[in-house]
Amino acid sequence: MCDATFWQPLVDVLPGQVVDYGDVNSITAMAAAVLAVAPASFVLAGHSMGGRVALEVAHLAPERVQKIILMDTGYLPRQPGVAGDTEKAGRMALLEVAQQHGVRAMAQEWVKGMVHPDRLQDTPLIDSILGMMSRKTAECFAGQQHALLTRPDASPVLSALRIPTLLLCGRQDSWANVAQHTAMQVLAPHAQLSVIEDAGHMVLMERPEATVRVICDFLEAA
């Protein structure tokens, strides 16, 4: 549900293209949308669901990806049993709010767990996040929820990565936590793991300067 607003602090320093997935409803279709507009060879960054899309891009066209940056994301499929049912119920509850009361109402609930708790009182930041999500439709949100519930296991992709890789997350990200990124580094031991202090899931909007600095340092070193 993010758009170029999320990426603006980075694009201001490193001009690049932000891909919109439209209403497609699978990670593979989203990866195909990226490859359809990307140059022959490129550096790829993905955040949250976009990190999973980035891994699928690396799976589909590994020869085209020079370097990869995976931010506040994950790699495992939906778990079976109770854990998977609980995840589905939570996603469907948010979707119901979006469909019945609008995307902004959904975002007002969603954002409570997606930023550092101290930033819930940061009105400009929260308004920017809510406004960004409000530009998307409930149909778009439904497609993304389906994509996430049917997401592939990206463990083999991580294990196969041989390109410079940055794993980055906010210290207080409760959705894609530090432990999850540490587990990703076990599968891709050559990867650099960087944790942004005092930041939640929306790390590039919460701590833009610190996040951009880590990314630029990584790209320069790589």
pLDDT at residue 164 is higher than 80: yes
Q: What predicted TM-score, i.e. pTM, was given to this entire model? A: 0.95
> Which pLDDT score is estimated for 23?
85
Domain with CATH 3.40.50.1820 in the chain: 4-79+152-221
pLDDT (tens digit per residue) in 191-201: 999 999 999 99
Q: What is the spatial distance between Cα 43 and Cα 68, in angstroms, rounded to a whole number?
A: 6
Give 127-140 pLDDT, tens digit per residue. Answer: 999 999 999 999 99
Close Cβ partners of 92 (under 8 Å, ≥ 6 residues apart): 145
Q: Please provide the CATH number assigned to the domain covering 4-79+152-221.
A: 3.40.50.1820
- Whole-angstrom Cα distance, residue 125 to residue 129? 6
- Structure-block tokens of residue 121: 């009182």
Q: Given this model, what pLDDT does residue 43 score?
A: 97
The Cα 55–Cα 155 span in angstroms is 9
- Can you give the pLDDT at residue 22? 86
Whether pLDDT at 125 is above 90 = yes
Is 57 strand, coil or helix? helix
Q: Which two tokens stand for residue 85?
A: 């049912």
Measure the CA–CA gap between 212 and 6, rounded to whole angstroms.
Answer: 12
Please give the structure tokens belonging to residue 118: 């101290």
Candidates 192, 199, 181, 198; CA nearest to 214 is 192
**Can you list the alpha helix ranges (DSSP code H) found in 102-162?**
103-110, 123-134, 138-149, 155-160
Q: What is the pLDDT of residues 68-82, one digit of tens each?
A: 999 999 999 999 999
Whose tokens are 């049993």? That residue is: 81
Please, what is the average pLDDT of the chain? Answer: 96
